[in-house]
Amino acid sequence: MSTLPGKDSAMDVSPERFTCTEDDVRVIRWQLKQDDIFISGVVERCEYGFPRVMLLNPLPGSETGGAPRYEAITNLIWLTCPYLNERIHGLEQEGLIEKITELINGDLEMRTMMDAAHARFYYLRKNYYRRFFGPEQEDGAARLFNAGIAGIRDIRTVKCLHAHFSHFRICDDNAVGMITSRLLDDKINCDEVRCRDAG
């Protein structure tokens, strides 16, 4: 149940495209067990209507001393669903990051897909930054842009399956996210509707 009309339009990250209600904020803070989450919008919802993937808000806050929230630019897409966060954490604990990295690097087609995914994320991040700060401030943020998914410097490595899965929800080229989804048997909705318990 994505709020994006299609994966092909994933480069359009204009804030007005995403809704985020006070209830969404309350649920996301419950999902992530923290209050200091700065949300720009909900990218995708689960079949029960709760936030699954969100965009972070990079605008300066009192806690940043007037500087942009750089983490919100580096890792602008976050997985919020506690069910998926738990299951993907389990995959990482089983050593799947290393195994997936080896698989991707040994397969030319998947490696090419990942090159495209990192390129798409580069432009997604850059477009997102421009939406908030304008193109005139880009020079000072070059280091932020020159990184792959999850802020990784070496795009032949994999840092976080959660980040890749979240990106895969809007980008078919993300082979790491696709493999992660398959390892979950494509079961991306919980049975017990956990977020109904959000206070």
| Span 86-115, pLDDT tens digits | 999 999 999 999 999 999 999 999 999 999
- pTM for the model stands at 0.88
**142-180: per-residue pLDDT in tens?**
667 788 998 888 999 999 999 999 999 999 999 999 999
Tokens standing for 126?
């850059």
- Say how many C-beta atoms besides its own lie within 10 A of residue 46's C-beta: 20
Distances (CA, A) of 6 to 31, 37, 130: 25, 26, 22
| pLDDT value of residue 169 | 95
30 neighbors 195 (Cβ within 8 angstroms) = yes
Q: At what angle do helices 82-93 and 175-183 cross, to 10 degrees?
A: 100
How does residue 117 score in pLDDT terms, banded at 50, 70 and 90?
Answer: very high
- Residue 143 neighbours by CB under 8 Å, 6+ apart: none
